[in-house]
Amino acid sequence: MNVSCLGRVAVPSPQCLKCKHLNRETLKCPAFGDKPIPDDIQLNLSDHRYPYPSDHDIQFEDRHIQLVDAPSAPSRGN
């Protein structure tokens, strides 16, 4: 596992665990390619719902929330 955490045993941060981008097998994120997820994000010092340097414009997206189109309202025959 290539998750960085300042030299300690690393586990993904809560924001990473809830993100749809995290590869749960490798614990890598496409936002950072082959590099480890930055410590600032791992330690929740940086909120990755917002752009982070070198994140390739990929930010946190909740894996449990899916936006769907609302059904059309029935027409009212006036």
Higher-confidence residue of 64 and 48: namely 48
Contacts 24+ apart (CB under 8 A), 39-44: 39/4, 39/5, 39/6, 41/13, 41/15, 41/16, 42/3, 42/4, 42/5, 42/10, 42/12, 42/13, 42/16, 43/5, 43/6, 43/13, 44/13, 44/14, 44/15
CA dihedral 52, 44, 66, 75 (to 10 degrees): -80
- The pLDDT score that the predictor gives to residue 5 is 46
Q: Residue 73: what pLDDT?
A: 64
- Whether the model clears a pTM of 0.75, i.e. scores above it, the answer is no
At 2, the pLDDT band (50, 70, 90 cuts) reads very low
pLDDT digits (tens, 9 = 90+) for 57-70: 999 999 987 666 66
